[in-house]
Each structure stands twice: as C-alpha cells, then as structure tokens.
Amino acid sequence: MDARSPSSSRQSPWLPFESRRRARDEKREAVLRTAVQLFLEQGYHRTTLNDVADRLNITKPALYNYFGGKDEILFECWAIGNERVDDCINEIAAGGGTGLAKLRKLIVSYAEVMTTDYGKSLVRFDVRDLTEHNRRVVNTAKRKIDRAFRDYIAEGIADGTIKPCDPKLSAFAIAGSLNWIGHWFQPGGPMTAEAIAEEFAIRLTAGIATTSTRKKADKPPGKIKTSREDRDEHHARTAPRAAGQSKRTRDRLR
C-alpha cells in the first residue's frame, strides 16, 4: 500500500521561487523596454500608462505590480542606461594605457551606449519629471561621467599624449558632441553604431592629441586602439539587465 498521502503526490500549482522571480524580472524588463520605446517615439508626457499596457496586451492595473507610476519607470530606464556607462568607466579605470587611450575608449563606449534606447534616456528626458531624490541621483551620476572625461584628459596632458588644454572645457565639448548622438541616431542608417563610435573617437581627439599620437588618430576608424575583442566582451557584460540591476546603481549613488 502506498503510504503517501494524496496531497503529497499532488504537484504544487505554484512555480518554484526562482522561476517565479525570473518570470517577474522578465515581465518587468518587458515593461521597461516597451515604455522607453514609447517615451522616445511619442515623448514622455504624451505617453500614458494605458499606451504601455496596450502595447504589452495587459491591463493598466497590471503595471502597478511592477512600478509605482510613470515617473518610476522613467527613472528605471535612465538607471539602466547609466549603469552601462558606469560599467564602461569602471572597466576602463581598471585597465592600463595612456590618458589619450583611456579617453578614446570612453568615447567609443559612451557613443555606443548613446545609440541604444536606454542610453538615449540619459539625454532625451527631462530630469525635472523625476522626484527630488531621483534628481539628486541623476545629478550625482552626471558629475561622475564628467569627472571621468576630465580625469582622462588631465592624465593625457600629464603623460604627454594630449596637448595642454582646459580639461573642463574639453570634456564639455566632447561629452556634448556624444550626447547629441542620442538625439539623431537611428538604427538602419548608413553607418553602424560601432563605426560611428570609432569615428567620433578619432575626430573628437584629433585636435587635442599631441603630434606624436596624431598619426595614430588619423588612421581609419577600424584601427582605433580599442580591440574588437574588448568591445565584444563589453557588449556581453552590458547586455540588457533591466530587472533588479538598476537598484544597484541607485544604491551605489546614494
């Protein structure tokens, strides 16, 4: 006789905890991915939560299982883009190279992020639409990015790979040019995101690179110091990680 009770052999209707969490993360990521696309297409203020729900084929109340409101979704989209930039900065800082080489790597990485939807959220949306706390988080992150550009320019001046110049103004000029990529880039154009990033790394540093490095700067985009293997590894590390990871960014910046 089977000693097991009927209930013990009956499979639970609930998924295992890890499976439930993974399913929730995937749905949360889908909300963010859809929302950022709509924000970019229609504008943040003209996009409603009903629009997001309709595109996802769910009800508006279902969205509140994942986010408290539209401004929270906006901040999460920004946080994902910022985390990708933050990963690039940390990776470059951990490596070696001259100030000019680091600056070019940062330009390439930052430009590539600017061609993505989450990267565009760093420059296309108004920080005034966020809560006061989240505005402080955003402004702190912006200062870190600006500091990275200034530091690499200063390093290049110190090691002789960059001409004497004002690191602050040079950083503003470079970052400003890169930020505009987020406004005009469209997938499917005549140049890939990678080619644009490499071209910008050459053009934005040609005027400040010293004579000894100018010839390197004049090489075709494919000859930039950052290797394809490095870029592939970076893309693998910074693939879409919407669910849960933007929280780490906020925690680091608090």
User: What pLDDT sits at residue 188?
Assistant: 86
Fold of the domain spanning 77-253:
Tetracycline Repressor; domain 2 (1.10.357)
169 contacts 154 by C-beta, under 8 angstroms: no
User: What pLDDT sits at residue 19?
Assistant: 56
User: What pLDDT sits at residue 14?
Assistant: 52
Beta strands in the chain (DSSP E): none
**216-245 per-position pLDDT tens digit:** 444 434 433 444 444 444 444 444 444 444
51 contacts 42 by C-beta, under 8 angstroms: yes
User: What pLDDT sits at residue 6?
Assistant: 52
Map tokens 């997938």 to a residue: 187
- Cα–Cα distance for residue pair 165/153, rounded to 1 Å: 9
**What is the DSSP secondary structure assignment for residue 221, as one 8-state letter?**
G
60 contacts 81 by C-beta, under 8 angstroms: no
User: What pLDDT sits at residue 245?
Assistant: 47
| Pick from 253, 238, 250, 252: nearest CA to 118 | 238
User: What pLDDT sits at residue 187?
Assistant: 87
Single pTM value for the model: 0.74
For 179, residues 6+ apart whose C-beta sits below 8 A from its C-beta are 114, 122, 123
Element (H, E) at 61: helix 60-63
User: What pLDDT sits at residue 25?
Assistant: 79
In the predicted model, residues of the chain with pLDDT beneath 50 are 1, 8, 20, 212-245, 247-254
- Cα–Cα distance for residue pair 199/128, rounded to 1 Å: 33
User: What pLDDT sits at residue 190?
Assistant: 87
- Cα–Cα distance for residue pair 92/58, rounded to 1 Å: 41
Cβ atoms within 10 A of the Cβ of 40, count? 17
- Cα–Cα distance for residue pair 73/76, rounded to 1 Å: 5
- Cα–Cα distance for residue pair 253/243, rounded to 1 Å: 18
User: What pLDDT sits at residue 222?
Assistant: 42
Q: Which tokens is 183 given? A: 């406004």
User: What pLDDT sits at residue 13?
Assistant: 56
**119-137 per-position pLDDT tens digit:** 999 999 999 999 999 999 9
| Pick from 191, 199, 197, 243: nearest CA to 28 | 243
Bridge partners of residue 103, in order along the sequence = none
At 101 the three-state DSSP class reads: helix
